[in-house]
Every structure is written in C-alpha cells, then in structure tokens.
Amino acid sequence: MIASVDYFGDLYKVLPLPFCGVVLVSCAILCGVLIGLEREHRSKPAGVKTVSLICIGSTIFTIASILIAGEGGADRGRIAAQVVTGIGFLGAGAIIRDHKTIIGLTTGATIWVVSAIGVLIGAGYAAGGIAMTVLVLAVLLVLRHSEGYFERRAEASTPSSCQDKKDS
C-alpha cells in the first residue's frame, strides 16, 4: 500500500532514470494533448501541436536541468527557471491588441500554465501535472460557459446611449 503512494510523489525516487524520463515525457504528451484538444476544439491559435510541444519542451528542459546538476550541489532549477522567461515571450506573442479590444489573453495564459505543468512533470511530479491538467481543463470549460452569462448580463444593464455606435 505504501509503495503505491510513492507514485504520487517524486518519480525520480521510485523509478530508474531512463524509465522515469520516458514516463515523465509520456505524461507531458498526455497533458499537452488534453489541454490542446480543448483549445483546438474552440479554434484557438495554440492548438494540440503547439500546446503539446510546449508541455513536452518544458518537461525535457526540466529533466535536462536535473540531469546536468546531478547529485552534486549544482542548482537543479537553473535551466528550468529560464523556461519561465522564454515562455513569457511566446505567450506575449499570442496577445494582440486590435483597436479597443485585446485578444489572445486566454491563449497566452494557457501557454504559460501548460509550461508550468511541463516543469512540474519534469521535476518528477507526474501525478501533480495530471491533477493540474484536470484543474486547467475545468477552468477553461466551466468558465467558458459562465462568461456568456456575465456578458449577457452586462449588455442588459448598459443603457443604449452608452454603447458604442458602429461607424457607417
């Protein structure tokens, strides 16, 4: 019973290294595909391929950081920390300002959170990565439905004189 609980913690302590890497990258593929399918279904720019590659890449960089640091006193998180900076540029590129509206914020945030899931998985916490994937999917799916309600409510409470008039 206790041995099965170990699989919810750091997999590096439970599995031999080559097998652990395969399990972690496979988990990253699964998590990236699940979130990517939701984005693809909604016809968003960052779909299955993009989101999966971000999750896999973050996982691989984190695994590499841990392997390079080894058992010595080197900083195991140095390379993984740079993922945050790099992914910020990628996420910012997904955000577009068009006149009075800003589009792509959810796509940028999805890129950011998928990268965080990849780092978590690469650090050995596959179960945590899967749990965070379920949480992210819940946020994307549940809040999508509630957005429509709040938008309709806001439109109903705005007087017609305050609404923007379309250019003819």
**Tens of pLDDT along 114-140?**
999 999 999 999 999 999 999 999 999
pLDDT score at 1: 44
* 140-158 burial code (b ≥16 CB/10 A, e <16): beeeeeeeeeeeeeeeeee
Separation between Cα atoms, residue 64 and residue 84, nearest integer Å: 15
| Residue with tokens 């984190």, as numbered in its chain | 62
pLDDT score at 54: 95
Contact present, 107 and 45 (Cβ < 8 Å): yes
pLDDT score at 162: 52
pLDDT score at 8: 77
Per-residue pLDDT of the chain (168 residues; tens, 9 = 90+): 455 555 678 888 888 888 999 999 999 999 999 999 999 988 888 889 999 999 999 999 999 988 888 777 777 777 878 888 888 878 887 888 777 887 788 888 999 999 999 999 999 999 999 999 999 999 999 887 777 777 777 777 766 555 555 444
pLDDT score at 168: 40
pLDDT score at 12: 86
pLDDT score at 167: 43
pLDDT score at 60: 95
